């Protein structure tokens, strides 16, 4: 059969609008809408048979039940649902009523055509409404991770609008000790501030073990600037609460849920955060990032450089320290789960490499030691030996007790590639 014969067979099924007729032939020719295809076929069939041309009103169509006349209306509803929200990309999806899906199948079966001939009603609705949304909002469609997702529920006559999160990447330095990276709820009252009806004695009613965190000194500023509903802090690992984070800082991402603003001045934001943190925390290198940057920050293998102030239980000579550090330099270390974290870590032996170890003896009982090692290397235990759980250790090699009295992290870098890959940033921002 010819394409005109197929078109006639389809048209004989009942009142069929141009879009539903043309949609069956969506894979034929280019540069036409389905409605234009359908009308052209209807005209050509009438001319070929020398019969009167009989147009069909879209509202009378038995397949789409008039839905193909509603593209403009649904696009306007999408635009209205996002009024006041700043976005650059979007995607449109459609929940097709089961009756229309069944009608589409019956249409093709009745004409003896494959059930998947052309394209589905859902695909056309997405495209036609999507084109109009882009024109109304001056934004671009994005089929991967758009700023906004519109879902058109035709059966319930509803537009579901989802504003996806925005992401800000940077590095932070923590300049005071006893500040955790993220909020640390009190374990005694589960963060409520109360034990029964009484104020929690353990946290003083604050609900937190620490009054401030890197998260609390940065995320609220980003949340306010982007006008979102919630901000989440994602860090590339974390330093101990009593350790400083210095040098080039630790990579992090702040995720803002349902932001109303996305085009922000990151340099101004950086200054705002640093002013808000009052010298306790500093951030730098802020950039708008993609959704995938969260996983990168959390999962990219990283090495770290530490500076530890060490106190020995007996006198140590400069020569002995140099020899001990030379033995650790390049060593593969086995560490059974340390005592201090065994309440939250699985009990197992981890193998980590020390890339370099250097140090300076200040007096017979005190030294500064610099360790560059693989991610997950427990530095305090590398120094102390942790009662034999870490081997080799500085204490074990020297044959004296050794304890870290102050610890600073001075660098966190990707093991094989940098965190700051341009692929993970919003381009041109």
Residues 25-43: pLDDT tens digits?
999 888 899 999 999 999 9
Query: 260 near 226, Cβ under 8 Å?
Result: yes
Residue 355 lies in a domain: yes
Tokens of residue 110, six digits: 């009745």
Last residue of a domain, one of 276, 299, 322: 299
Residue 379 lies in a domain: yes
- Catalogue the active-site residues: 240
Domain holding 257, by residue range, is 166-299
How far apart, in whole angstroms, are the C-alpha atoms of residue 119 and residue 311?
A: 74
How far apart, in whole angstroms, are the C-alpha atoms of residue 268 and residue 252?
A: 18
How far apart, in whole angstroms, are the C-alpha atoms of residue 363 and residue 256?
A: 50
φ, ψ dihedrals at 198, nearest 5°: -100, 150
pLDDT of the residue at 428 = 55
306 is in an annotated binding site: yes
How far apart, in whole angstroms, are the C-alpha atoms of residue 339 and residue 358?
A: 26
Residue 422 lies in a domain: no
How far apart, in whole angstroms, are the C-alpha atoms of residue 26 and residue 118?
A: 5
Query: Where does residue 391 rank: exposed (0-12), middle (13-18), buried (19+ CB within 10 A)?
Result: middle
How far apart, in whole angstroms, are the C-alpha atoms of residue 68 and residue 22?
A: 12
Q: Which residue has the tokens 């610099």?
A: 370
Task: Supply the CATH number for residue 381's domain.
Answer: 3.30.70.3190
pTM for the full predicted model = 0.88
Same domain membership, residue 159 and residue 18: yes
Task: Supply the CATH number for residue 221's domain.
Answer: 3.30.70.2510
210 is in an annotated binding site: no
* One pLDDT digit (tens) per residue for the chain, 429 residues: 689 988 899 989 999 999 999 999 999 888 899 999 999 999 999 898 888 888 999 999 999 999 999 999 999 999 999 999 999 999 999 999 999 999 999 999 999 999 889 999 999 999 999 999 999 999 999 999 999 999 999 999 999 999 999 999 999 999 999 999 998 888 778 878 888 888 888 877 887 788 899 999 999 999 999 999 999 999 999 999 999 999 999 999 999 999 999 999 999 999 999 999 999 999 999 999 999 999 999 999 999 999 999 999 999 999 999 999 999 999 999 999 888 876 666 778 999 999 999 999 999 999 999 999 999 999 999 999 999 999 999 999 999 999 999 999 999 999 999 999 999 999 754
How far apart, in whole angstroms, are the C-alpha atoms of residue 427 and residue 140?
A: 14
């Amino acid at each position: 059969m010819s394409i005109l014969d197929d078109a006639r067979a389809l048209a004989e099924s009942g009142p069929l609008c141009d879009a539903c007729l043309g949609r069956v032939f969506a894979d034929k020719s280019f540069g036409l809408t389905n409605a234009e295809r359908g009308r052209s076929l209807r005209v050509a069939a009438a001319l070929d048979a020398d019969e009167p041309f009989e147009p069909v009103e879209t509202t009378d169509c038995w397949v789409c039940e008039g839905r193909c006349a509603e593209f403009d209306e649904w696009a306007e509803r999408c635009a209205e649902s996002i009024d006041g929200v700043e976005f650059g990309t979007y995607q449109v999806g459609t929940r097709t009523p089961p009756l229309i899906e069944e009608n589409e199948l019956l249409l093709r079966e009745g004409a003896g055509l494959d059930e998947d001939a052309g394209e589905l009603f859902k695909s056309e609705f997405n495209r036609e409404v999507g084109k109009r949304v882009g024109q109304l909002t001056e934004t671009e469609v994005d089929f991967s991770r758009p700023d906004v997702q519109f879902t058109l529920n035709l059966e319930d006559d509803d537009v579901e609008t989802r504003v996806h999160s925005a992401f800000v990447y940077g590095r932070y330095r923590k300049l005071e000790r006893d500040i955790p990276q993220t909020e640390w709820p009190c374990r005694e009252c589960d963060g409520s501030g109360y034990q029964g009806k009484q104020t929690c004695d353990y946290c003083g009613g604050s609900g937190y073990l620490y009054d401030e965190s890197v998260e609390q000194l940065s995320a609220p500023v980003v949340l306010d600037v982007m006008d979102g509903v919630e901000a989440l802090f994602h860090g590339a690992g974390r330093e101990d609460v009593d350790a400083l984070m210095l040098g080039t800082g630790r990579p992090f991402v702040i995720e803002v849920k349902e932001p109303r603003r996305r085009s922000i001045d990151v340099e101004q934001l950086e200054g705002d955060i640093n002013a808000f943190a009052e010298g306790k925390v500093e951030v730098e290198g802020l950039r708008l990032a993609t959704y995938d940057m969260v996983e990168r920050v959390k999962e990219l293998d990283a090495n770290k450089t530490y500076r530890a102030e060490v106190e020995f239980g007996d006198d140590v000579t400069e020569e002995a320290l140099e020899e001990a550090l030379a033995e650790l330099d390049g060593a593969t270390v086995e560490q059974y789960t340390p005592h201090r974290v065994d309440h939250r870590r699985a009990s197992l032996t981890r193998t980590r490499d020390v890339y370099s170890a250097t140090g300076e003896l200040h007096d017979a009982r005190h030294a500064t030691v610099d360790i560059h090692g693989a991610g997950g290397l427990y530095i305090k235990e590398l120094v102390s030996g942790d009662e034999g759980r870490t081997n080799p250790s500085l204490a074990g090699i020297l044959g004296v007790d050794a304890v870290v009295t102050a610890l600073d992290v001075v660098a966190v870098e990707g093991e094989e590639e940098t965190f700051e890959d341009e692929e993970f940033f919003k381009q041109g921002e």
